[in-house]
Structure 1
Amino acid sequence: MAMSAVLPRLTRLSAAVTRGRLIERATEAAGLTLDRPAMGVLVTLHMADRPLRVGEIAERMQVVGPHATRQVQALERRELVRRVGDPHDRRASLIELTAEGAGAADRYAASLVGWFSDVVSDWSEQDRADLGRLLGRLADDVTARLDLLEAGDAPPPHSP
């Protein structure tokens, strides 16, 4: 399949996932009533597998610092995250998931993984393995290219 045929399909996929309220359903399955940005903070911390500074959360979510700060404060009030001291800088604090926040993030991730697993359940084992391998490669390559772009070292995009 030509790469030019992939973009419309990715756009359709994104629209279908949004229209199907997949994120909202996964949030409900986690037993939470959180908006998408707050859930994003929980998932970011869950994927980091270590406490993060608010600035790191903002960077990973690609949002401005004050936005991440507001989300963290709201999650603190709900006791889904807590502040802990930074062992490397006594003036700073890190944000970590509470047991309740970690459980909610686990349920959210399990709901999404389960949903996508159901979608491809009738695919052959080889097709599922290929999809996982190729999506992982795409994510790694896109991330690497974007890092180069931010550093000013990326080649220009190909023109049609």
Structure 2
Amino acid sequence: MQASKSDLATLVATVERFGESLRRGTSRVYDPVRVGVLRVAAERGKVRPGEIAEVLDVLPSSVTRHVQVLAEVGFLVITTDPSDRRASLIEVTEAGREQVRQFVQAGVDVFGAVVADWPGEDVRALTGLLDRLLADWAEKGTDHQRAHRAKRRFGWSET
């Protein structure tokens, strides 16, 4: 049986509340874009700042500022791209990798405390459903957002 409009409205509200709660909680502890820059560099090896901006869906100028700060503290190294001397390549250092490891462990610790009373079966079920939601979102969500955005404009969001 398909979900009703009421079911979907409840899902949207719940996901939005969870996203906002996560955003508020994390922004008190760290800059999510800065951590994102570090994580992408750790996952991809040598990478251009523009690619990082694309992956994170943020402005390239924002990535540039974060890369500079992360390089100053020794978490990233900036080199010239040999295939295009005008471009830079970003690479994570071992100290940067350690920061990513600590960040991941902090997430495990926090989520572990939140779901400490949950049965493992519930944690695995939620993880599976979230993985499925993310995969379906990647496949269908962005196109539907663009189509919806083209049809409707929210005046307050354009200012």
Point out which structure has higher relative CO (alpha carbons under 8 A, 6+ apart).
1
Map Cα deviations across residues 102-124 of structure 1 (whole Å, 9 max, x no partner): 11111011101221122222222
2:125 and 2:139 map into 1 onto residues whose CA distance is: 21
1:135 and 1:38 map into 2 onto residues whose CA distance is: 24
Kindly report which structure 2 residues correspond to 1:6-155, keeping only aligned pairs within 5 A, or say none.
6-19=11-24, 21-25=25-29, 27=30, 35-46=31-42, 48-84=43-79, 86=81, 89=83, 91=85, 92-146=87-141, 148=143
Moved more, 126-135 or 37-46: 37-46
* Alignment CA distance shift 1:18-1:155 (3 Å): closer
2:143 and 2:17 map into 1 onto residues whose CA distance is: 28
TM-score with structure 1 setting the length: 0.73
State the number of aligned residues. 143
**Percent of aligned positions that are identical:** 29
Query: 2:79·2:89 contact (CA, 8 Å) conserved in 1?
Result: yes
Runs of 5+ consecutive residues of structure 1 not aligned to the other structure:
28-34
TM-score with structure 2 setting the length: 0.74
Structure with a larger share of its residues in helix: 2
Runs of 5+ consecutive residues of structure 2 not aligned to the other structure:
150-159
**Cα RMSD, aligned residues only:** 2.7
2:68 and 2:121 map into 1 onto residues whose CA distance is: 45
* Alignment CA distance shift 1:144-1:125 (3 Å): same
1:57 and 1:149 map into 2 onto residues whose CA distance is: 24
